[in-house]
Amino acid sequence: MSKLQWNLGTVFAGGHVNDSSFQSFVSELKIDLKKLREKVETLSEGDIDNFTFSFIQLEDLTARFQEASAFTTCLVSANIKDQEAKQWRANLKPILGQLQSIDTELEDHLLHMKEEEWQNLMSHPDMKARSFPLHERRQKGREKMEKTYEQLAEALSQDGYHGWSDMYDTLIAQMRITKDDETLSVGQANNKKGSSDRAVRKKWAAALEEKWEDHEDLFAEAINHLSGFRLALYEKRGWSDPLKEPLMINRMQSETLDAMWAAIEEVKPMLVMYLRRKKALLGIDKLHMHDISAPIGDNTKEIPYEEAAQDIEAHFRSFSPIMADFAREAFDKNWIEAEDRDHKRPGGFCTTFPVSGQSRIFMTYDGTSGNVQTLAHELGHAFHQRTMEGLPYFTTRYAMNVAETASTFAEQIMADAAVKEASSRDEKIKLLDTKINRSCAFFMNIHARFLFEKRFYERRKQGWVNPDELKHLMVESQKEAYCGELDVHDPYFWSSKLHFFITRTPFYNFPYTFGYLFSLGIYQRSKQNQEDFETAYISLLKDSAAMTVEELAEHHLGVDLTRKDFWRQAAQPIIEDIETFLELTE
């Protein structure tokens, strides 16, 4: 087996869905699920012992479902033509629906518990460690429709709402981009947009835009249908704000989100200065979106995978030996799928196998410095999951915003180390450019996505949004987010960015920025108190699914996230990096 390919055989023998170990696992899951369904149907009010048993059983079955689901996701991602894996992934969907139906049933029991019963539940020995997910479910139950309607909505969503997300993935997987007798997948063509050669960037950006234009009606159909379903559900729940669910999922207050964006607006004038200087350094008349992430100077150096692995381990070790040892374990045990080949889905991710206590990382590695950053990013996710080993499964399901904290923290370690080790002025400029470009992505690109999605949902409330309107909304959002510095916009970004089509996590944008800035705040504290950092950091990660983000920050950092102060301080290193960049490129 190549070092660039992952080994799934340690999760299920044979490493494929046609192996009996996987199929037996799913069969046993279905049998136990049926037993739990029958038990919950006979659960009476006030029966704390049987409720406790049912809740812990649901937790166990949910973890087992994640094990099977992650396995099929890995197989399909590594080979989009794997029809058997696709079939099994589809077969698992009804199981998820049944689990969510039982969860809704138990949520309803929590909602109707008398105060004395609730207190008895909270004092039960097996429930003390699960108090946060119980409190959370009880509160969510108050915000939703009647139980039977919620169960019906979830059942219908499997082949409706979530089906449109699956359709998008299928369309992207089948698309091929051809230019000058070279044919690439969408992921491979996107990598070309990061080339140091502007002619290459422009060629593939234009080729991709042509393809998006060819399919704009299909993508408009998908985004309109999934958003229409979401808005109809919100209306029945009495929710008028499309941000209510994403804020609830991310366990954060709207005041925190507002404070974060307000602090970012204060940094944008410095980012504008950076963009203008970069435009001059690139020697271009018109700034395209693909120019922003373009490397300055020659960036043809290829970093071998083994070298990247060694660098990541070494730099992680300077902050946390435990984190470094974990990274080495992931490399040695082939937990990473990094091979650059056709028939892989685009992008990267990290997924967890809670039953076997393992993680897997997916990406396409082609030797760029950006790939090294992505690899470190995904290892940060995997380390986060490792820190929660041994906790009840429902207290390990952290939200996306804190999930992005550990990953962007890992990236920051690599970026800072690279700048410090720069052997020349030119190299330092290139590395600072890479660091600041990440800030542009989180503060401008992600902001454009956030603005687009907010405006799109408000417009969708009025009716169908056609491709021309979608393009207009996208361009207007980019103009505002980039402070008018873009000369050429990307009108099809709404169709090319898969995050707009992810149904399990609406508004798959602002949590990235939260995680980035939150991790910068933690990173600064790590440099101030290196001796105790490792223990404190792991403690924070362990609590990340057992508190709201405001409680997490107050408890572990002593800060108030609803005020701009923390976010301003977290952004200060970005301003300093830009000042250094401007000075070096004077």
In CATH terms, the fold of domain 20-157 is Butyryl-CoA Dehydrogenase, subunit A; domain 3 (1.20.140)
**Residues in CB range of 134: below 8 A, 6 or more apart:** 55, 110, 121, 122, 127
Token pair, residue 354, equals 């809670």
* Residue 72 half-sphere exposure toward CB, CA atoms < 13 A: 22
The residue assigned the tokens 């508004």 is: 507
Contact 19, 8 (CB under 8 A): no
Per-residue pLDDT of the chain (586 residues; tens, 9 = 90+): 578 999 999 999 999 999 999 999 999 999 999 999 999 999 998 899 999 999 999 999 999 999 999 999 999 999 988 999 999 999 998 999 899 999 999 999 999 999 999 999 999 999 999 999 999 999 998 999 998 999 899 889 988 899 999 899 889 988 999 999 899 988 889 888 878 889 999 999 999 999 999 999 999 999 999 999 999 999 999 999 999 999 999 999 999 999 999 999 999 999 999 999 999 999 999 999 999 988 887 656 789 999 999 999 999 998 899 999 999 999 999 999 999 988 888 788 999 999 999 999 999 998 888 889 999 999 999 999 999 999 999 999 999 899 988 999 999 999 999 898 888 999 899 999 989 999 999 999 999 999 999 999 999 999 999 999 999 999 999 999 999 999 999 999 999 998 999 998 899 999 999 999 999 999 988 887 777 889 999 999 999 999 999 999 999 999 999 999 999 999 999 999 999 999 999 9
**SS3 of 269, please?**
helix
Taken in order 138, 139, 144, 146, the sign of the CA dihedral is positive
Question: CA-CA distance, 245 to 49, in Å (whole number)?
Answer: 32
Question: CA-CA distance, 86 to 91, in Å (whole number)?
Answer: 9
Helix, strand, coil tally for the chain in percent (to 5): 70, 5, 25
- What end-to-end distance do the CA atoms of the chain give, in Å? 50
Q: What was the pLDDT predicted at 194?
A: 79
Helix or strand (DSSP H, E) at 349 = strand 349-353
**SS3 of 288, please?**
strand
* Residue 27 half-sphere exposure toward CB, CA atoms < 13 A: 7
Q: What are phi and psi of 563, to 5 degrees?
A: -110, 155
Provide the phi-psi class of 463: left if phi over 0, else alpha when psi is between -120 and 50, else beta.
Answer: left
Q: What was the pLDDT predicted at 343?
A: 85
Each domain of the chain, given as residue ranges in start order, spans 20-157
Provide the phi-psi class of 513: left if phi over 0, else alpha when psi is between -120 and 50, else beta.
Answer: alpha
Contact 479, 486 (CB under 8 A): yes
How far CA 134 is from CA of 114, 131, 139, 180, 554, in Å, comes to 15, 5, 9, 58, 21
Q: Which amino acid is at 351?
A: T
Contact 151, 178 (CB under 8 A): no
pTM: 0.89
Provide the phi-psi class of 6: left if phi over 0, else alpha when psi is between -120 and 50, else beta.
Answer: beta
**Residues in CB range of 96: below 8 A, 6 or more apart:** 65, 69, 158
Task: Give Cα 363 distance to the centre of its chain.
Answer: 14
The DSSP annotation for 516-563 comes to HHHHHHHHHHHHH-HHHHHHHHHHHHHTTTSS-HHHHHHHHH---TTS
The residue assigned the tokens 């000058």 is: 180
If one counts every other C-beta atom within 10 angstroms of the C-beta of residue 28, the result is 11
**SS3 of 83, please?**
helix
Closest by alpha carbon to 127, among 48, 44, 52? 52
What's the longest Cα–Cα distance across the chain? 75
Helices vs. strands in the chain: H and E counts, helices first: 25, 5
Contact 430, 299 (CB under 8 A): yes
Question: CA-CA distance, 523 to 521, in Å (whole number)?
Answer: 5
Q: Print the SS3 string covering 191-230.
A: HHCCCCCHHHHHHHHHHHHHHHHHCHHHHHHHHHHHHHHH
Closest by alpha carbon to 306, among 381, 378, 375, 407? 375
Contact 364, 187 (CB under 8 A): yes
* Residue 575 half-sphere exposure toward CB, CA atoms < 13 A: 13
The C-alpha R_g of the chain, in whole angstroms, comes to 24
Question: What is the DSSP pairing of strand 349-353 with strand 358-362?
Answer: antiparallel
Question: What is the DSSP pairing of strand 336-337 with strand 358-362?
Answer: parallel
Closest by alpha carbon to 514, among 554, 556, 566? 566
Contact 357, 328 (CB under 8 A): no
Question: CA-CA distance, 569 to 563, in Å (whole number)?
Answer: 11
Question: CA-CA distance, 159 to 484, in Å (whole number)?
Answer: 41
Task: Give Cα 497 distance to the centre of its chain.
Answer: 13
Q: What was the pLDDT predicted at 346?
A: 77
Question: CA-CA distance, 409 to 319, in Å (whole number)?
Answer: 11
